Amino acid sequence: MRDIERLVDGFQRFQQQYYEDAPTLYRNLCEGQHPSTLLVGCCDSRVDPAMLLGCDPGDIFTVRNVANLVPPASTDRGLQGVLAAIQFAVEQLQVSRIIVLGHAHCGGIRALMDRRTRGDGETDYLERWMDIAEPARRQVLQQMPQASAAERRRACEQASILISLRNLEELPFVRRAVDAGGLTLHGWYFDLVAGALLAYSARADAFLPIVCPLFTELA
């Protein structure tokens, strides 16, 4: 089957499910969306947030970009699309939590860690975008000089989630909502090799499993 036909067939199944078999959900969603969660995820085709987290349409408001990054508040005009989506979710939709969902084997982080010399041309979009996570790269190289490339990439994937959480905290509308007790921030990491979900614990200063790999439970 050609790819494009799979997509059209997929929509027909979606149509059958949500407009024929169980039409109530979309009938309600036509009145408006009320997601309680904003999720910042990666573009990677293997980490679809709604699929990973078992969500129905309307459950999560999602921003996806290369390496699931939140730019700093003082960003240049070219990076404001992500911040606009976050502002909409916090101020208009009044979500109660923001999850930054990173993942193993992230191509964006690999590009960052493999960086030799930084391109600075006008059209080096990936380079300029990944500059957001450059402090994570520097931190990992400094703290893990003996580690393998794979270990460093994993550490950078997780460290960049913390940079995004810090950048979130510095957005005035996010800070206001957090201070008022109406918003919480979370850093999650999908280990797609082990099939596990980890969450950042500030107390442990580490990513700890919240859903363990299946083989661990069976052991």
Binding residues for Zn(2+): 42, 44, 103, 106
Amino acid at site 166: R
CB-nearer residue toward Zn ion: 44 or 191: 44
- Structure token digits, residue 20: 């024929």
Distance of alpha carbon 199 from the chain centroid = 12
Q: From the CB of 109, what's the least distance to Zn ion, in Å?
A: 7
Q: Which residues bind Zn ion (CB under 5 A)?
A: 42, 44, 106
CB-nearer residue toward Zn ion: 29 or 79: 79
Amino acid at site 130: M
Q: From the CB of 80, what's the least distance to Zn ion, in Å?
A: 21
Phi, psi of 19 (to 5 degrees): -115, -15
Contacts with 127 (C-beta within 8 Å, 6 or more apart), sequence order: 115, 118, 119, 120
Q: From the CB of 106, what's the least distance to Zn ion, in Å?
A: 3
CB-nearer residue toward Zn ion: 38 or 106: 106
CB 66 within 8 A of CB 108: yes
